[in-house]
Amino acid sequence: RLPLVFTDEHGLPLVLHAGSVLSYRDVALLSRGRVVVHRKCIVTAMARDAANARNIQLIKQE
């Protein structure tokens, strides 16, 4: 398998999160970029705070 990295138009990483819960652990290792989550995904308060502190944009699928 080849490593596959998604980036946006500015070269920032775009992470696709397939789990049903986005926790602090999922956001802690990221520095910048965007995280795309399923529309029914639960985002914990700690994950949301960590994303804001690290300039990570959370995007929910429609």
Determine, yes or no, domain membership for 3. Answer: no
Q: Band the pLDDT of 55: cuts 50, 70, 90.
A: very high
Determine, yes or no, domain membership for 7. Answer: no
Determine, yes or no, domain membership for 9. Answer: no
Q: Band the pLDDT of 5: cuts 50, 70, 90.
A: confident
Domain that holds residue 24: 14-60
The pLDDT tens digits of the residues spanning 12-42 come to 999 999 999 999 999 999 989 999 999 999 9
Q: What per-residue confidence (pLDDT) applies to 3?
A: 80
Determine, yes or no, domain membership for 2. Answer: no
pLDDT at 62 over 90: no
Q: Give the burial class of 11: count Cβ atoms within 10 A of its Cβ; 0-12 exposed, 13-18 middle, 19 or more buried.
A: exposed
Q: Please give the tally of structural domains in the chain.
A: 1
Determine, yes or no, domain membership for 25. Answer: yes
Residue in this structure with the two tokens 């775009």, named with its chain if needed: 14
Determine, yes or no, domain membership for 56. Answer: yes
Determine, yes or no, domain membership for 54. Answer: yes
Determine, yes or no, domain membership for 6. Answer: no
Question: What rounded mean pLDDT belongs to the chain?
Answer: 93
